[in-house]
Structure 1
Amino acid sequence: MTASLKVGVVAPVADGVTADPEWMASFAGHLERCGFESIVVVEHTVLVTRYDSVYPYDSSGRVGLTADCPIPDPLDLLAFLAGHTSRLRLATGVLVLPNHHPVVLAKRAATVDALSGGRLRLCVGVGWLREELAACGAEFDSRGRLVDEQLSVLRALWADRPLGASHHGEFFDFDDVMCYPKPVAAERLPVHIGGHSRAAARRAGRLGDGFQPLGVAGPQLASLIALMRDEASAAGRDPAALEVSLGHAVNKIDAERAGGLVDQGADRIVLSMPPTAGIEEAKDMLSACAQRLSLAS
């Protein structure tokens, strides 16, 4: 495994786990001690008991969570975990951007980043669950345009502009507003784009700092990464500066498989956790993974 490869882990989503403060603090602390780069937390503002939307990452078309599964707000959860760690980077994966007003989100994200010493990474997406977006007041069919504008608003509010930020768009309109504190890297707080579509790849190339393609592999993955880099070049951006995060499983990854993901373009591997009986089993699994990957603590 290359020394520059970053390895993050998605926090498990389960009843009695994700919203349990002792479980999550212990999990994040162990990640840090093992030498993992980041903890990644998911978002669903709401789940619904009946839905017609098709979950795109499982052949059943259904998400593998019950509607009453506790899923904490990702930024609030990361703020909590920041207080229990010192080096571990804090990431969303993915935050459903249409669910959020970008002016409020700019403040919340900047606060977490500033108070954690610049450890926040946002990975955002347009969302797949039409019923969730509707509950949050977002139009599903225009969510791509909305997200593009939201990203522009976030960057404007994070930038250090002596006269304040102004924005006049299709969805948001304001003049001369100040938003403090700023993220440690100001408007360069890293924002990655998650998704499996060509639209997501293009958005990552034009507007993102990285790309996290979900549920794709082989020629389709290569095509999406190439499209992202082509789009970056067309926008006058350096395609080599954009990170690619690819997924694998904590209990299956090893140095050879990690090397294969690097060969496919990965700068970071985001590992998912299988169901576990408890925190000690989870810690043992993480320790074994860190040993296989020779992570430096």
Structure 2
Amino acid sequence: MKFGISTFITDQGIAPAALARAIEERGFDSLLIAEHSHIPASRRTPYPNGGELPEKYYRTLDPFVALAAAASVTDRILLGTGIALVAQRDPIHTAKEVASLDVVSAGRAVFGVGVGWNREEMENHGTDPTSRGRLVNE
């Protein structure tokens, strides 16, 4: 059995390189980080877990920048998105970011994708929330 860490990386917590080093030193197999490009100031979409949206959603770092920092100080752990919101991303830029991370990490990149839940965030990217699943499949 393999164990990894899935988390949000923000400006208020441990830095990505320090976190990745600590994960690798402790024998974990992977680091997967969440993505939100932004959280709109005006939200209608309720937080899926109920209650107020945790502050970490507002403060997430770019996953590919954070994972590249993690790659620079580790040798073994897998580094990935858990998840990338591909319906909100340019597919060509995203492909280049994933391929670049795979090169700088010596083949340790893992690309986890999802469709997201925040309708306003999607709409700000020009994505129709009702067709996001088909868009991701495409």
Larger Rg: 1
1:113 aligns with 2:105: no
- Aligned partners of 1:104, 1:24: CA distance in 2, in Å? 22
1:25 aligns with 2:21: no
Write out aligned runs for 1:1-297 (5 A): 5-17=1-13, 23-56=15-48, 58-60=49-51, 62-65=52-55, 69-149=58-138
Shift of 1:14: 4.6
Q: Secondary structure at the match of 2:99?
A: helix
| Counterpart amino acid of residue 60 in structure 2 | I
**Larger relative CO (CA 8 A, sep 6+): 1 or 2?**
2
- Aligned partners of 1:117, 1:141: CA distance in 2, in Å? 37
- Aligned partners of 1:90, 1:101: CA distance in 2, in Å? 21
Q: Secondary structure at the match of 2:55?
A: coil
Please give the root-mean-square deviation of Cα atoms over the aligned residues, in Å: 1.7
- Aligned partners of 2:17, 2:10: CA distance in 1, in Å? 15
- Aligned partners of 1:108, 1:142: CA distance in 2, in Å? 24
- Aligned partners of 2:11, 2:17: CA distance in 1, in Å? 16
Aligned to 1:272: none
Q: How does the TM-score come out when normalised to structure 1?
A: 0.44
Q: Which runs of 5+ in 1 are unaligned?
A: 150-297
| Counterpart amino acid of residue 145 in structure 1 | R
What is the aligned-residue identity percentage? 34
